[in-house]
Amino acid sequence: MASTNRRNFLRTTLGFSAATAASTVLGVNPVNLLAGCGAPTSSNQSGTGDALTFSQDPLGFEYGALEPHIDARTMEIHYTKHHTGYIDKVNAAIKDEGLTYATPEELFASISKLSDTVRNNGGGAWNHSFFWKSLRAPVEGNAPTGALLDAINGTFGSLDEFKQQFAAAGAGQFGSGWAWLVSDNGTLKIGSTPNQDNPLMDDVELSGKPLLGLDVWEHAYYLHYQNRRPDYISNWWNVVNWDFVAQQV
């Protein structure tokens, strides 16, 4: 019995050590492993044929990886408190309300018929999962390339003009919300949504496939920028993951 217990202990310990080592190589915060965050969010499904369940991926980078543009403490609170809270609340609401949607897209396509709890927390869960993937450690000269850059130049005239229009959408969003770049049947559009709404919802003014989203809630920037939302937006361009954006087109 003692020998069996020792083997089980070593198996568990070595398995966790290997997972932690792998996370270090990939740049994943080991805290996320402890939190049990690892289920894919591309579909946000349970994978068992049951109703939709939102989940939380590891960030893929350390909390401080985006500094000095987004500080580590803000990232930690944003990810572990705000995003986790949205996920917990929407999953509870889906269960309590007996909803049977299989994907986020199906849920958002009927959002006007659902409760505010599902709308706000479902949007918060999906929007943040999308947001994390659009971020990366800062690199010099960070900018889109190839077909994505061509599409931006063709629609907005130049990358600088695109940035100005996008920044205006984010800075001009009254109160909390998001700024978006979307593809509406192949046409690029910029706009914003209030609260945790997103362009996939059936009753929003800005509709289309999200390509890039920016969180302009105060919790995303207040610790470092206080009320200077335009400064936050200006610095955020340094950490945009343009490869991810290009994959959405």
> Domain holding 115: CATH number?
1.10.287.990
- Reduced to 3 states (helix: H, G, I; strand: E, B; else coil), residue 182 is strand
142: left (phi over 0), alpha (psi -120 to 50) or beta: beta
Report the predicted TM-score, pTM, of the whole model to 2 decimal places: 0.81
Digit-coded pLDDT (tens) for 124-172 = 999 999 999 999 999 999 999 999 999 999 999 999 999 999 999 999 9
- Residue 10's pLDDT is 34
Cα 67 from Cα 65, distance rounded (Å): 6
Residue 118's domain spans which residues?
A: 12-133
50: left (phi over 0), alpha (psi -120 to 50) or beta: beta
Does residue 101 sit within a domain?
yes
Verify that 25 and 128 share a domain, yes or no: yes
Digit-coded pLDDT (tens) for 27-72 = 333 233 222 233 334 334 444 457 899 999 999 999 999 999 999 9
Does residue 85 sit within a domain?
yes
Verify that 56 and 154 share a domain, yes or no: no
